Amino acid sequence: MSNTLLSDAFQRYSEAIAGGMGCSDAARSLRESPPPQAAAEVSTCTIKVSSPSNSPSLNVDTDESYDLSIGEDGSCKITATTEFGVIHALESLSHLAGESCSIENAPIKISDMPRFAYRGLMIDSARHFLPVHFIEHIIDTMAASKLNVLHWHISDTESFPSGSDLFPELAEKGAYSYPDASYSVQDLKGIVSYAYNRGIRVMPEWDVPGHGSWGKGKPEVTILDGSCSNTLDPTNPDVYTFLHSFLTEMADIFPDANLFLGGDEVDTSCFTSSPTVSKWMDDNSIEDGVALQSYFWQQVTAQVMPGLNKTLGVWMADDGIPYPEDLPEGSFGNVWQSQSMMPTVIDRGADVVLSGPWYLDQQQPGGFQTYALQAIWQGMYQVEPFDGLSESQQGSVLGGEACMWAEGVNAMDFDAIAVTKAAAVAERLWAEQTVVDVDDAQDRLMEHVCRLNMRGVAAEAIAQNFCLSDVL
C-alpha cells in the first residue's frame, strides 16, 4: 500500500482489532464461545479509493462516505472516494470486530456517509493546560465517534500557552508555567499532523478583543488606562498590524480553512473606563461600546483577514454580536446560547454552527432537565439542528459541535465528563435526520462506551451493564 495515510491507518486499526484489550486472551476467556453466527476473524481487507491522492485535502467539502462489505470468511472490502472515507470505514470495521475479534452476523454490507460536514469538539487549554499527549488522546476518542473538527480554544484570560516564533513573549509571559505548560510551534504542527492522519481538522481559536491574555506578553496592544488589562484596544492601529502578523504565522501552522476569533462576552466597561478610549470614541462619533465592537470587527475585516485565506468564525450570542454585516463575506457564527438565534444569524448573512445545547460542562444543557447525570446525553441526542429553520435556511447550517469548557475540567476528569456525551452529539451529527429513537441510541451508546473503555478511555457509563473492562 503506497499511500502513507492509508498505510498508517491500516496498521493502526489492525493493531486496534487484533492487539487491543478486546482481543486479549483474558478477554476471550470471559466471552461466550463461540459467539452467535460468528464468521472467521478478519483476515484480509481490500481497499479501493476512487480519487486517490498522496496528500488529500481535508476540508468542509471532503467526501467522507464509504462502502464496507464483510464476507462470511472474514474478508472485507472497502470502497471510498477519498482516503478519509476509508479511515471511517476502518473505524466501523474495528467497531464490528474489535469486541469479539470476529465478525458476527456476516455477511454484512454498509453504505455510510455523514449528514453534516462539520462535526466538532471544542477543547479549552487555557483554563487548564492539556499536555500534547492528552490532546492526541482526545483526537483518538474523536476518531472513534467520527467527529472531524477539533475546535481548539488555545488561550483565554487565564493563560496564553500558544507558542510563536514571531512573538515568543506571548507564551513566555502568558503561560501558566513556561515552557512546561505551553505549546511550541513544533507541538502545534505535531497536533495538526496527528489529527489529519485520523481525518480530523484542527481549527484554532484566539479570542478577540476580550477573553484574552494578550496583555501579559504584549501589553502595548491592550487598553492601558482602564479597568481591563487584557482587552485589546480597538482604537489602537497597532492592534490590527500585530494581529495580522501573528495570525499570518498561525495560518501557516494551522492549514485548516477556518480561523476562529471568538468575539463573545466583551465587557464594554473596559472601553468606557479608559479615558484614552473614551476620548477617541467621542472624537470619532462612536456612541457606545457596542458601536466600538462593530468598528473593531470592521477593521479586522479590512486589515487583518486579507491575505490569510481563511474563513472567519466567531461566537454568536443572543445579542447578535459580532454583527454578521461587520464580518468578511462567508463568515460563520457559532450559536452558543439559544438555538432559536439560528434563523436570525442566517438571515443576516452568516452560516451557522450549533453548540448551545451541547455544552458538556452544563447540568441542564439546552434547558434539558434530568435527575441523573448519566442521562444528560439524552437531551443532547434529542436536539435537532434544523428545528425552527425554513428549508432554505437549513442550507446554511454547517453542522455542530460539543463544547468542553475547562473551568472545572482537566486531563484527570476530561474523559468521564466529555467523551460519552460528545459521542451522543457525534451520532446526531452523523446519522440521518430520521434516526431519533433514544432507546435504540442507548443500546448503541452503551456498547460504544464499553468499546472506549476497552481502549483505555474513561468514558462515562450511562446505564447498568457489564463490560469486560470492568474485570480486565
Rounded-to-integer distance, Cα 272 and Cα 267, Å:
10
Positive or negative: CA dihedral 223, 224, 225, 229: positive
In whole angstroms, give the CA distance from residue 380 to residue 394.
19
Structural Rg of the chain based on CA atoms: 23
C-alpha–C-alpha distance, residues 111 and 166, integer Å: 47
What beta strand segments (E) does 330-369 contain?
332-335, 351-354
Active-site residue identified among 220, 265, 384, 407 = 265
Taking every pair of Cα atoms in the chain, the longest distance, rounded to a whole number of angstroms, is 82
Nearest in space to 350 (alpha carbons), one of 368, 333, 373, 371? 333
Q: Which of 85, 195, 86 is nearest to 140 (CA)?
A: 195
Phi, psi for 16 (deg, rounded to 5): -65, -35
Which three three-digit cell numbers place residue 323? Answer: 454583527
Indicate if 384 belongs to the active site: no
Residues 184, 262, 402: CA angle, nearest 5 degrees: 85
- Say which residue the cell 460468528 belongs to: 38
Any long-range contacts for 360-368 (C-beta under 8 Å, 24+ apart)?
A: 360/402, 360/403, 360/404, 360/405, 360/417, 360/418, 360/421, 360/422, 361/403, 361/404, 361/405, 361/406, 361/407, 361/408, 361/409, 361/417, 366/339
Whether residue 38 contacts residue 72, with contact meaning beta carbons closer than 8 Å, is answered with no
Distance (Å, whole) CA 174 – CA 8? 37
Q: What is the Cα–Cα distance from 356 to 340, expressed in whole angstroms?
A: 10
Which residues are tagged catalytic? 265
